[in-house]
């Protein structure tokens, strides 16, 4: 498959999250993968609150309409900034 054809499928290209440019913090990459846009989850919630949503509605919107919106390998990622100890506790739940 040529590079021209590689990008005809939306699942093969990096995507951005509409309306969250001010919350963009960079990108991540892994071996053999495409660059993935990364956003600060808390900044996204704050942005929605500034637009008039309550905190609860902003969280619900993020979870169901933004983070939950898988559109392929190029789907943006949303980072929760937490201490490593908290992450290890969270990750430990997968191995329990």
Is 0.75 topped by the overall pTM?
Answer: yes
Per residue, the 3-state secondary structure of the chain, as one string, reads CCHHHHCCCHHHCCCCCCCCHHHEEEEECCCCCCCEEEEEHHHHHHHHHHCCCCHHHHHHHHHHHHCCCCCCCCCCEEECCCCHHHHHHHHHCCCC
Q: What is the pLDDT of residues 55-85, one digit of tens each?
A: 999 999 999 999 998 888 899 999 999 999 9
Q: What is the pLDDT of residues 17-29, one digit of tens each?
A: 999 999 999 999 8
φ, ψ at 8 (rounded to 5°): -80, -15
The proportion of the chain whose per-residue pLDDT surpasses 70, expressed as a percent, equals 86
pLDDT at 42 over 90: yes
The Cα 53–Cα 57 span in angstroms is 6
Q: What is the pLDDT of residue 91?
A: 85
The Cα 49–Cα 27 span in angstroms is 24
């Amino acid at each position: 498959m040529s590079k021209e054809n590689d990008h005809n499928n939306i699942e093969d290209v990096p995507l951005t999250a509409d309306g969250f440019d001010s919350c963009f913090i960079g990108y991540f990459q892994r071996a053999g993968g495409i660059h993935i846009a990364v956003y600060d989850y808390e900044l996204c919630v704050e942005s929605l609150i500034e637009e008039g949503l309550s905190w609860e509605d902003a969280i619900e919107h993020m979870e169901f309409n933004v983070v939950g919106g898988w559109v392929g390998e190029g789907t943006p990622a949303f980072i929760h900034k937490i201490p490593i100890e908290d992450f290890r506790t969270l990750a430990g739940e997968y191995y329990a």
